[in-house]
Copies of this chain bind each other. A is one copy, B any other.
Amino acid sequence: MAGSSFGNIFRITTWGESHGNALGVVVDGCPAGLSLGVEDIQAYLDRRKPGQSKITTSRKEADEVEILSGIFEGRTTGTPLSMLVHNTSQRSGDYSEIANYYRPGHADYTFDAKYGFRDYRGGGRSSGRETIGRVAAGAVASKLLLEFGIGLRAYTKSIGPVTIDRGQFDAQAILSTPTCMPDRNASAQAQAYLEQCMKNHDSAGGVIECVIDGVPAGLGEPVFGKLDALLSQAMMSIGAVKAVEIGDGVEVTTRHGSENNDSFHMEDGQVTKTSNHAGGILGGISDGSQIILRTHIKPTPSIFSPQKTVNRQGEDIEISIKGRHDPIIVPRAVVVVETMAALVIADALLTNASAKLDNLKKIYGR
């Protein structure tokens, strides 16, 4: 129960540490017959690679994925997909210093408290590299969802004080700016802001938004398996996330019901919501409109400025963290948010298959 599995039917189990031999994931429960190749996975992993701009660490990792099982003649077989990425630039390095104290804002102290010791090389299991398995698995989920016309798009909504202008929305910019902002102007401002942070030996946070189109009404289970509840778990399970919003999120608390309720009307013979404050989910179940969620991410805790902390001997000390660290987590977390959301939706799609007798009659044809 160390918590490395996620999902009920489309179920993933990730493994690996930042400086171990490799990191990876097993995807169990992917339906048979999905066309899938290594390039489908690599495209997503490339979006989270370090070393792609001035505002990410210069640590170079090829992060080339291998698929070890579960595919035959180009299609998923219904049995587990095992995928891994070798750690190529893990250096033996000198971690004796970091081994001995607790970095503020990191999981060093809590891992020690829980397990009695920890893999102190680069954060071990609490490293951002742990998300490699999630992204690889989420790439499979995304490919599956495409078969049903479901598409996901995550992007940076804000970095520090700089927020995108929705009027300037440019989807192309998500993949082509170093900030993953869909607004080139805001992106330029955010870059300037981040460069100043780096000069100050400091770091910044931001907000990632994810929209999901094409989700049929009916996904998500009542009570604890609500679609928004699972999306929240998924988002908050990403390191450094401190808040999650669905639809209009925190803004709804100061509204009246008459303002916040989304009316229904008929459109092209379909029940349609006139507005979408709810963000596509009612009572924990998708309502057929766009699903919208936001994930709030704290500034990178690894900063070069001196900080106060304690060591394992219980002494107050002052430290200065060295090494290569992104001044912001947000841009590289965009694809993590998107793929985690894909995992939730894919699992909900499969789970919903047995929600009513009629569905089963369609399959078993009796």
Contact = CB atoms under 8 A, between A and B. Distances in A.
B72 A9 contact: no
Contact of A11 (B5, B236, B297, B303): B5
Contact of A265 (B23, B287, B310): B310
Specify the main secondary structure of chain A where it touches its partner. Answer: mixed
Interface in A183-214: 197, 200, 202-207
Contacts of A324: none
Interface stretch (A12-20, A46-54, A57-65, A174-182): A12-20
A251 to B, nearest CB: 8
B223 A125 contact: yes
A44 interface: no
A314 B269 contact: yes
Nearest to A121: B72
A207 B246 contact: no
Interface in A60-108: 66, 68-70, 72-73, 75, 77-82, 84, 102, 104-107
A287 B108 CA distance: 10
Contact of A283 (B111, B220, B261, B354): B111
A320 interface: no
A110 B285 contact: yes
Interface in A242-281: 242-250, 252-266, 269, 271, 274, 278-279, 281
Contact of A232 (B205, B244, B247): B244
A356 B243 contact: no
Interface residues of A, number: 169
A197 to B, nearest CB: 7
Copies of this chain in its oligomeric complex: 4
Interface in A217-239: 217-226, 228-237, 239
Nearest to A126: B283
Contact of A266 (B246, B279, B314): B314
Contact of A26 (B26, B34, B218, B363): B26
The CB with the most chain B CB atoms within 10 A, among A248, A257, A303, is that of A257
A328 to B, nearest CB: 9
A257 B202 contact: yes
Contact of A257 (B218, B303, B364): B303
A226 B237 contact: yes
B202 A224 contact: no
A125 to B, nearest CB: 4
A82 B148 contact: no
A262 to B, nearest CB: 6
A161 B254 contact: yes
Contacts of A110: 217-218, 220, 281-287
8 contacts: A2-B29, A4-B80, A16-B80, A77-B117, A78-B114, A82-B84, A203-B256, A271-B314
Given A232-B235, A274-B308, 6 more contacts: A4-B80, A21-B69, A107-B283, A114-B217, A224-B237, A353-B363
